Amino acid sequence: MKTPEQGVDEAVLALLRCPGCCGPLVPAEDPSKGLDCAGCAVRYPLRDGILILLPEEALPLA
Ligand SMILES: [Zn+2]
């Protein structure tokens, strides 16, 4: 049983694509923070264990 603190399950991660560029997503350095897209330089946040995979909710990466 996964908890939100562990981030997105690897099997789920393998199926996900960035809604902006259809590229692969990688876990943030702290996996509980969400998933990053290198191509778009954005982070899709993980809130209460729910991945917010929406371009308008994506956070710009520094
Ligand atoms: Zn992208």
Handedness of CA 10, 30, 61, 58 (dihedral sign): positive
CA 7 / ligand 1 centre spacing (Å): 19
pLDDT, position 18: 96
Confidence of residue 6 (pLDDT cuts 50, 70, 90): confident
For ligand 1, the distance from its centroid to the CA atom of residue 47, given in whole angstroms, is 19
Using the mean position of ligand 1's atoms as its centre, give its distance from the Cα of residue 15 in Å: 14
- CA 5 – ligand 1 centroid, Å: 23
Query: Residue 7: pLDDT band by 50, 70, 90 thresholds?
Result: confident
With H, G, I as helix, E, B as strand and everything else as coil, classify residue 46: strand
pLDDT digits (tens, 9 = 90+) for 23-62: 999 999 999 999 999 999 999 999 998 999 999 999 999 7
Provide the β-strand partners of residue 47. 50
pTM for this entry: 0.85
Going from N- to C-terminal start, the domains of the chain cover: 4-57
At 29 the pLDDT is 94
Under CATH, which number does the domain 4-57 receive? 2.20.25
